[in-house]
Amino acid sequence: MTYRAPITEIQFLLDHVLDGARVAASDAFAEADAETCAAILAEAAKLAETQLAPLNTVGDLHPARLENGIVRTSPGFPEGYKAIAEGGWIGMAADTEFGGMGMPMVLTSAVNELLASACLSLSLNPLMCQGQIEAITAHASDALRALYLPKLISGEWSGTMNLTEPQAGSDVGALSSKAEANDDGSFAITGQKIFISWGDHDCAGNIVHLVLARLPDAPGGTKGISLFIVPKFIPDASGKPGAANSLRVVSLEHKMGLHGSPTAVMSYEGATGWMVGAPGGGMAAMFTMMNNARLGVGIQGLSQAELALQKALAFAAERKQGRSPIKGGTGMILDHADVRRNLMVMKSQTQVARAICLDCAISLDLAHAQSDPAMIARAAFLTPIAKAFGTDTGAEVASLGIQVHGGMGYIEETGAAQIYRDARITAIYEGTNGIQAMDLVGRKLADGGAAARALLDEIAITAKASPELAAAHKALVAATDWMLGAEMNDRAAGAQPYLRAFALVLGGHYLLKGAAIDDSRKPLADFHLRQPMAAVAGLCAAACQGAAPLYADALGA
C-alpha cells in the first residue's frame, strides 16, 4: 500500500462542513485564500508521499542510536528533515517578521496530518519546533526572539520541551531541577529530564531546549517554576553555534513504537540558560507550547488512523478468503459483513477525528483574529476533545486495522502492527487522555457551561434532521447539566465517557452536514448515527454515576 494524502477529504471539510472560508475572511489571514491553501496542500502531499513515506518503515527497523555521546538518527532522516525545513513547513504558522509564513493553524494542522501519516517519527521533530516557536514568540524577550526564532523557523535549529523528571510526571510541580543566577544575566541549570522527544540528533545545527526549573528562593509547586532556553551549543557573538553547553544525553529510551524518534534522558550540569518570561511564569509559558502540542498530538492520532484505514482497505480489496456472501461479489474479504463493519467504524471515526481537530484549529484561528471571548472559549473547549478523541481514534483504528489483516496484521512485514505501536503513545504524552477529560469537565466547564452549551446549540440545529442525533444530543445535554452540579471527583469519575460522548455527538453533527451537501456521504453518516453514536446513551449514563462505585472495590490493594 502506498500512502495517498487525503487532500480531497480535507478540502471538503473546510469548504462545506466547517466554513473554513471564515479564516481567510479575517484581516489576520487574508493571504490564506482558497487558491493558496490548495497549492500548499498539494505541495505538502507531494512531500509526504514521495520523500517522507518511504522513511516510515526505515525508522522502525533502524532506530535512532546513541554512539559515544552522539545521537545518530535513522537512515534518510537528516535528508527528510532538510526537505521539511527547506520547504518552510516548520514555520507555517510563525510570524512573518522572523521568517514564518503567517498561515492559519487550520492549514498548518492539515499539513501536519499529511507529514505525520507519512512518517510519524520524523514529523514529531517539527511539531516540537512549532510549539517552541509559539512559546518563545509569546513569552520571550525581544533579544531572545531575535536570536532564536529565525533559526527555529527555518529549521536551521530545532527545539524540544523538557518537563518530565523521574519523580515528576503529570505532577510537574514536583520537579527538582534548579536554576541559579549567573553574574551576566544567564542562569546555571542543573537537573535531569526524561522522555525528551528528539532530545538530541544529527539533523539540525543546534538543539534548543526549553527547560522548566526552580529558582533557589522560589515557592514549591507549580507557582515556583520558571522556564529557560538552554541550547546545546551556546550562540557566539554572531549568533552561530559556539561552545558546547554543559548538558548531555544520558541514554535513549527503548520504546514500543516511534523507533525513529530519539527519546532522550537529558542531564543538565550547570548548563547555561536564559529565562523566558518572568520568574515563576514557567507554567504559563509552557502551557502555550503544550496547548499547541495537544492539538498537534490529536492530529498525530488522526494521521495514524488515516494510515491504518488506507492500509486495511487496500488489504481487504486484495485478500481472498472463502466464498463471497453477496451476489456479484469480488471474492475478497471486503465482501464480508464483519470486515466491512470494521472498515466502516475505521472510516467514520477517522473522519470524525479530522473534523474535530480542524474545527478546533479554525476556532483557534478565529480566536486569534477576532479576540472574541466566545471563540476563545470554543477553541479551549475543543482542545482536550481533539487531543483525546484524536489519539484514542488513532490507537483504536490501528487496532482494527490489524484485525482486518487477520494473522497477517500480527506479522511485522505488513506494517499494520507498526501503526498501532507508533500510535499508542499519543494517548499518553502531552497530558494523558484521562487528564484531558478531567480538564474538560473541570476548567472547561468552569464558565458555568457556556462554551459547552454554545456547541450544543450548534448541534441542536443539525439534530432537527435526525432523530438519532436529537436523542444523543438530549442525553449529552442532561449529562452536561449533571456535570455542572456534581462535585469535582464525581465529575472526574465520569470524565472520559463524557468526553467520548461529546466527540461522537459532534461526529454525528459533522457527518450529517457533509451528507446534506453530498449524497454519497449519506451511508457513512447513517452508519455513524446508528452504530458508533448509539453508544452515547450508555456513555452519558456512565458519566453520571459519580465516584462512589469506583471506591467500593479495594482492587486487591
Own/partner contacts of 318-326, CB < 8 Å, gap of 24 or more, are: 319/406, 319/408, 321/406
* Closest C-alpha among 497, 505, 496 to residue 477: 505
CB 481 within 8 A of CB 367: no
CA distance 113 to 123: 9
- Report the DSSP beta bridge partners of residue 229: 210, 274
Cell 539533523 -> residue = 203
Q: What is the distance between the terminal CA atoms of the chain, rounded to a whole angstrom?
A: 48
Residue 430 annotated among the catalytic residues of the structure: yes
The amino acid occupying position 33 is D
CA distance 196 to 253: 9
CA distance 235 to 244: 9
CB 399 within 8 A of CB 420: yes
CA distance 490 to 546: 4
153 burial (CB, 10 Å; 0-12 / 13-18 / 19+) is buried
**The three grid cell numbers given for residue 288, joined into one nine-digit string:** 502555550
CA distance 84 to 122: 10
Please list the alpha-helical segments (H only) found in 155-253: none
Own/partner contacts of 287-293, CB < 8 Å, gap of 24 or more, are: 288/134, 288/135, 288/138, 288/139, 289/131, 289/132, 289/134, 289/135, 289/161, 289/210, 290/131, 290/161, 290/430, 290/431, 291/383, 292/130, 292/131, 292/134, 292/135, 293/127, 293/128, 293/131, 293/161, 293/430
* Catalytic option among 430, 458, 468, 487: 430
Which of the residues are catalytic?
430
